[in-house]
Amino acid sequence: MTELPKKTKDEKRRKDEDLFKVVDSTIDYRTYLNLIQIARRLNIEEYLGAISSGKEARIYPAKTFDNKYYAVKIYYTSTAQSKRAIKKYTVGDIRFEDVKVTNTKQLINTWAKKEFKNLSRLYEAGTRVPKPILVYENILVMEFIGENGLRAPLLKELNDEEITQELYDDLIQQVEIMTKRAKLVHGDLSEYNVMVYDNKCYIIDVSQAIPIDYEDAIMLLKRDLDNINRFFEDKGINIKPTEELLIEFGVS
Ligand code: ATP
Ligand code: MN
């Protein structure tokens, strides 16, 4: 069998504008230039249309030349409310003491960096989260959860018959790893921030997570567990009361 000649670097290289499948007016020029640099670094062939646009960020799938996908989270706004939240969560957080939180751009970048750091800490501790790849200014690149650029469903989006005891146990186990090994509390955990792929729970959206020994952390963990328990109990799953879980996690 004869092999086809490999494409040269020049043939592979596309015009920068071809990188973007959909022209997205929310991407400012600086972000656009950064996305081009990141594409070169990660061998990205194209960015696809946004799969979500939340209050603070958008997520875009990025396809590489070898048909792998990344999830690219771009932080693009900072509402008054989120500015307060960023300050609340970063001022007094020793990990971010050297970060200046004065102007809006810096605040947005801090939020991206914080999510990257939390993802890294969780990933290294063995929590099932998207693997963090890189962060640059307001752009965070992570493992894509799903297949062929099609994202996996959120826990919220599953059919009732897909919501099983095994799934509950798996999620509680992930929260236990998060608490005991990563020593972080998510702080916004619910059926909207858990993706389910291959019957396994992936915890996402961790920008606001805080160390377990911080003020209010136990209260937030309790709220996270209450949210999960409420969701699964509604679906007829046998849940463990939050108080018992807190004792098992060694924080009560
Ligand atoms: P929202 O305000 O809608 O919650 P957000 O700004 O909090 O958005 P995320 O929750 O991190 O952002 O992500 C938004 C959505 O993007 C998720 O609900 C999920 O559908 C999708 N998503 C997030 N991370 C990934 C990933 N790694 N792989 C695939 N899809 C993802
Ligand atoms: Mn979210």
Cα(2) to centroid of ligand 1, in Å?
Answer: 44
In this prediction, residue 57 carries a pLDDT of 92
Co-location of 118 and 172 in the same domain: no
- Residue whose Cα lies nearest atom 15 of ligand 1: it is 52
Name the DSSP class of 158: S
Name the DSSP class of 167: H
Contact 174, 128 (CB under 8 A): yes
Q: Taking the CB of residue 14, how many other CB atoms lie within 10 A of it?
A: 12
Contact 71, 61 (CB under 8 A): yes
Co-location of 82 and 166 in the same domain: no
In this prediction, residue 144 carries a pLDDT of 98
Ligand having the closest approach to the CA of 152: 1
In this prediction, residue 91 carries a pLDDT of 57
In this prediction, residue 83 carries a pLDDT of 61
Q: Is residue 8 part of a domain?
A: no
Overall number of domains in the chain: 2
Q: Is residue 3 part of a domain?
A: no
Q: At which of 116, 147, 178 does a domain end?
A: 147
Catalytic, 18? Answer no
In this prediction, residue 5 carries a pLDDT of 58
In this prediction, residue 18 carries a pLDDT of 85
Q: Which one of the listed residues 205, 213, 216, 226 is annotated catalytic?
A: 205
Q: Is residue 2 part of a domain?
A: no
30: helix, coil or strand?
helix
HSE-up of residue 188 (Cα within 13 Å, Cβ side): 11
In this prediction, residue 189 carries a pLDDT of 98
Evaluated on CA atoms 181, 182, 185, 189, the torsion sign reads negative
Report residue 18: phi and psi, to 5°. -70, -15
Mutate to test the pocket of ligand 1, among 26, 47, 52, 60 (most ligand atoms within 8 A of CB): 52
Rounded distance between C-alpha atoms, residue 28 and residue 207, angstroms: 22
Q: Which domain holds residue 184?
A: 153-248
Mean pLDDT of successive 10-residue stretches along the chain, which has 252 residues: 56 71 80 96 95 86 97 81 62 58 81 97 98 98 96 97 98 98 98 98 97 96 98 98 97 86
Select from 204, 200, 199, 171 the least CA-distant residue to 186.
Answer: 204
Q: Which one of the listed residues 93, 170, 188, 226 is annotated catalytic?
A: 188
In this prediction, residue 25 carries a pLDDT of 78
Contact 139, 38 (CB under 8 A): yes
Q: At which of 122, 147, 172 does a domain end?
A: 147
CATH of the domain at 191: 1.10.510.10
